[in-house]
Homo-oligomer: A and B are copies of this chain.
């Protein structure tokens, strides 16, 4: 199998767009048609509704997107049954030949990081996983080693899209902010082509700066749509048109409907049309 950066480039070229479909299911955002068939007071009912919704969204637009990113937190909040649902969605993506990013933001000392990597790649069957850099290189290394074995990858948090993300990330560390120090490390860790960077779309100037600091690193850019990033902002993160960055939408793309919209499925398809078109311009 080709290495992870080549697998990403191939997927983006094949689909002709860099869209990452975020699956962050929340009960209150699900279509009423699905909620009505599940019990909100039972964790397994909610988990099953998440799975039904996710599988249906994959049927509707999965063939058109290169990457899918489930958010582990929402599945974990459904208990063990939530992880069954998460694994089912990741498996369906693999059957559909869609690359996956398990958004779990894990990070721990080496022996523990190895267990998280094992969970992400082998137990859940994701192609890649998001990783927090606060514990340093020896805590990231087990993810790189595990990724190498399965031609998978990881995306290290560099600059996050949340409003308060700068509290520590922007601290001046000898003339450059902390996030630039992390970016420098990520550029080095990516020697084998399997380490990407999470760079929020809500900070366009930083996208330019970080693209320069990590010229050969794939970016995962969250924050498109609901969090305020625009298509014009995002393009600053690409290295060539539509390449070396995937752009995630977890709200505007899979949940562009009001819960009681009868035509929610058509709206999901139109949202995919719109996002793909905006990123192609």
Query: Which residue in B24, B115, B182 is a CB contact (below 8 Å) of A168?
Result: B182
| A162 sits at the interface (CB 8 A) | yes
Cross-chain contact B123 with A79 (CB below 8 angstroms): yes
Of the residues B74, B133, B173, contact of A115 by C-beta under 8 Å: B74
With a CB–CB cut-off of 8 A, which chain B residues contact A111?
24
Instruction: Give the docked Cα–Cα distance between A178 and B112 (Å).
Output: 23
A118 interfacial by beta-carbon distance below 8 Å: yes
Contact B162 A139, beta carbon cutoff 8 Å: yes
8 Å CB interface, A137-190 against B: 137-139, 157, 160-169, 171-174, 178, 181-182, 185
Smallest beta-carbon distance A177→chain B, Å: 10
Copies of this polypeptide in the complex? 2
- Min Cβ gap A178→B in Å is 7
CB <8 Å contact, B136 and A167: yes
Contacts of A79 in B (CB 8 A): 83, 87, 119, 123-124
Q: Is the CB of A74 within 8 A of B112?
A: yes
CB neighbors of B among A96-154 (8 A): 105-113, 115-116, 118-119, 123-124, 132-139
Q: Which residues of chain B have C-beta atoms less than 8 A from A17's C-beta?
A: none
Asked if A77 CB lies within 8 Å of chain B CBs, one says yes
Q: Contact check, A171 vs B181: say whether CB atoms are below 8 A apart.
A: yes
A interface, CB within 8 angstroms of B: 24, 43, 71, 73-74, 76-81, 83-84, 87, 105-113, 115-116, 118-119, 123-124, 132-139, 157, 160-169, 171-174, 178, 181-182, 185
- Nearest 5 A/B pairs, CB to CB: A136-B167, A138-B164, A136-B164, A73-B115, A109-B162
